[in-house]
Structure 1
Amino acid sequence: MSQAFLSIITVNRNNKEGLRKTLESVLCQQGLAADSLEYIVIDGDSSDGSLALLQDYAERSTFPQHISWWCSEADSGIYNAMNKGLAHATGKYVLFLNSGDYLASPTILRQVWGEEIAVDIAYFDVILYYPDRTKLLIFPDEITPQFYVAGRSLNHQCCLIRTSLQKKYPYDESFRMVSDSDFFIKTIIRDGCSYRHYRFPLSYYEAAEGFSSNPVTRRLRDEEWQVLLRRYFSDAVLQDIRELLDFKYGYLGILRKARKLFSMLRLHHKQKSPSSGSV
């Protein structure tokens, strides 16, 4: 049997309905060559019915795709579970699509296949979804140190990573929130691995309910973020980049406010001016 092009790994713990959404988005993918997709699901010993749901979907034969391997057992955290799935991945590339996140359409992977990806890291845009709205998040074409010092990061839900590279640098389980960012800084910024931005959304990310979205975990993320930055950048470099960002965004902010003010003044002037016409 030939090597699968992509291994998708889903990690879940007590998110039954989110898991259902994710499973169906992967299993319903259409137009793919046989055995070109490997699907691995890691459940963290859930107690909300996720296990029964997973067993049901694993036994179904009505979907175009199937679950290649799964387990349900206790783990020490999300990155431990992701590394556990990674250990079983045999595809050329790997994509982490955790419970609650889902692929953009039933034919999106066929579109991805058509891009003939050859870089170490291929990243796409992502759609953030909330209970009442969605938001398209567009990433820059170039990933720089400034991108990370500004607090941004690529989302693993929209990144195809060469499996051999991901296995060389498994997720650092000492972090609870920022290990995926640690991976990207290590590979793209430090090691200069090849990457490319594909300008269309690959997936939907559950921004309102995700692991990083509530105030407690946001605070933990901020603390870990500072540890992460100091792992790769000296204080002097961080200061230089922050000053550059302060100038760049402060300057742009002044320009935006000035444009808004001028627009308001023009509108006010137009409303106050007498109507034109023959005297």
Structure 2
Amino acid sequence: MQVDITIITVTRNDLEGLKYTAQSVIPKLTDHIRWVIIDGASSDGTADYIKSISDHLHYFVSEQDGGIYSAMNKGALHSPVDSYLIWINSGDSLLSLPIIDGKCDAYFYGVKIKENGVDKIPFIPNTFGIGSVSPCAQYFHQGFFVRRKIFLPLMYDESIGLSADMLLMLQVVKNFSCRVLPEVIALYSAEGQSNSRPLSLLLSHLKVVSKLKLSILKYITINNIFVIKCIIKSIVPFSWLVIFRTYRTEKF
């Protein structure tokens, strides 16, 4: 029996990014695979574009919300009752859609990361313990399928900030049946908030550690390079870092 899947896309003032995402999502839609779009009251023509593709959508709305995770939660609330959820946000691309056998509560797949216009080595998830909270060990929601009935009692904790998805997925790993598969199914655009707000990202990670009642000192010790990079990025203007990365790529 084929299980139902709901693809949830969150967007705000990113018309071109949404069009790019739509190119990868629409061809994969069927009676069992549905698409939900939550737009945060965009003013760049996004709302009109969404209406133009509304025949492909299970649900859509364009209205003010409380931010990205508020919108991602809203998408889950408007999804079919018995479906698996996956979040492919504006600017991301769904490379393939695997067949979910429905035997587990959640499935984790690989994700390719795109940063500064360059495709990086695909991130292939590995199983890890709840104590291994690391920016290099986390899964990505672009490769994460979870049962709606499992997700709704948890939801993305909006108070956590940029790493709310990290907390949610670690909670799922800890408490429910999961399966990890090496197939790369999505391209994640790392040009967003976490890339330009390094200090906020670090503080959000620390909130996750605290929420899970883990040792903050141990986290900082294990992830010292990440911590230092976040501090440096918060001091050096982001535009300078982009110029440096571009120069380094062209030079070497």
TM-score (norm 2): 0.80
User: Larger Rg: 1 or 2?
Assistant: 1
2:59 aligned partner, one-letter code: W
Letter in 2 for 1:177: L
Q: Partner of 1:96 in structure 2?
A: 87
Match in the other structure for 1:271? none
Q: What's the Cα RMSD here? A: 2.3
Going from structure 1 to structure 2, the CA distance change for 1:56 and 1:187 (only over 3 Å counts) comes to: same
- Look up the match of 1:83: 73
Deviations 1:213-259 (CA, angstroms, capped at 9, x unpaired): 11xx2211101211220121343xx556776x58xxxxxxxxxxxxx
Aligned residues: 222
Give the unaligned 5+ runs of structure 1.
60-65, 247-279
Match in the other structure for 2:199: 219
Distance 1:20 1:147 in 2: 37
Q: How far, CA to CA, are the matches of 2:220 and 2:163 in structure 1?
A: 20
1:149-188 correspondence runs (5 A): 149=134, 152-188=137-173
Letter in 1 for 2:163: V
Q: 1:146, CA displacement in angstroms?
A: 4.5
- Alpha carbons of structure 1 residues 223 and 38: separation in structure 2 relative to 1, 3 Å: same
Change (3 A) 1:179 1:241: closer
In structure 2, distance between residues paired with 1:3 and 1:117: 8
For 2:218 and 2:203, the matched residues in 1 are separated by 21
Distance 1:133 1:164 in 2: 37
Query: Which SS does the other structure have where 2:201 is aligned?
Result: helix
Give 2:17's aligned amino acid.
G
Secondary structure at 1:129's aligned position in 2? strand
3-state SS of 2:200 partner: helix
Cα displacement (A) at 1:126: 0.5
1:66-77 aligned at under 5 Å gives the runs 66-77=56-67
For residue 36 of structure 1, the aligned residue among 32, 36, 45 is 32
Cα separation, 2, equivalents of 1:150 and 1:211 = 15
TM-score of the aligned structures, taking structure 1 as reference length: 0.73
Structure 2: 5+ residue stretches without partners: 224-252
Give, in whole Å, the separation in 2 of the partners of 1:188 and 1:123: 10
What's the counterpart of residue 184 of structure 2?
A: 201
Q: Equivalents in 1 of 2:204, 2:75: separation in Å?
A: 24
The answer for the alignment partner of 1:9 in structure 2 is 8
- Note closer, same or farther for the CA distance 1:132–1:96 as it changes in structure 2 (3 Å cut): closer
In the TM superposition, residue 197 of structure 1 has moved relative to its aligned partner by 1.2
